Structure 1
Amino acid sequence: MAEQKTVFTSRHRFARISPSKARLVTELIAGRHVNEALDLLKFTRKRASVFVEKVLRAAMADADEQEANVSKLYVREARVDGGPVIKRFQPKDRGRAHSILKRTSHIVVTVGEGPRG
């Protein structure tokens, strides 16, 4: 019989939010029980919490699909990597232009049974 998978990963690539802003939210949930993490995200007044909550729910759904015990899941890893930068420019006085960098993020959430250790 095949060994049952115990770690489940979900990712949102090319999220239109700055990685530094998204990291503020992922640092809150790392190492916590998934229900506690969902409660934290629900009441966190940051735009990134919506992105992270969707990724966490996707990882939980994957675990449920693989028949893992969802009540024993913890957030093993919550990581934000920088994605590609969209470059724009804003016209300024005397014919000059200033660049605008629209940053994107790759958000990765890994859940597993029991806390990391």
Structure 2
Amino acid sequence: MEIVARARRIRISPTKVRLVADLIRKKNINQASGILSSLPNKASKILKKVLDSAIANARQKKYVDVDSLYVKNVIVDGGPFLKRYIPRALGRATMIRKRTSHITIVLDES
């Protein structure tokens, strides 16, 4: 039985989150939680919250053994940009795209 947790429009670049997401893919939830707790990145704190949400979703289901869960998949997609402008020379402006992420964590029983 798959358990899914999502976080959408998180204000961090998807490439930064994917670096951390690759570390916890196919790991036991206890190992994944330990890895995320020990990393100093902003992305690890965000992924830890989503992982904790997925574990809480699993506890709501009575027929799921929480101790046998593992991280089946971590999907990190790009979200909408926040568009900001920086003034440049000769009255011009350059657009800055502040990137957002959609994070999905899928847990499954081993």
TM-score interval, normalised by the smaller of the two chains: over 0.9
Aligned to 1:65: 60
Offset, 1:96: 1.6
Aligned residues: 109
Offset, 1:46: 1.1
Offset, 1:79: 1.0
Aligned to 1:36: 31
- TM-score with structure 2 length normalisation? 0.96
Aligned Cα root-mean-square deviation (Å):
0.8
Offset, 1:93: 2.2
Offset, 1:94: 2.0
Q: Given residue 25 of structure 1, which amino acid in structure 2 is its aligned partner?
A: V
Give 4+ residue runs of structure 1 displaced > 4 Å after superposition.
none
Aligned to 1:24: 19
Query: 3-state DSSP class of the match of 2:26?
Result: coil
Residue identity (%): 42
**Cα deviation 1:35-89 (Å, max 9, x = unaligned):** 0000000011211111111111111111111021111000000110010111111
Check if 1:9 corresponds to 2:17: no
CA distance in structure 2 between the partners assigned to 1:99 and 1:47 by the alignment: 25
Higher share in helix: 2
CA distance in structure 2 between the partners assigned to 1:88 and 1:74 by the alignment: 40
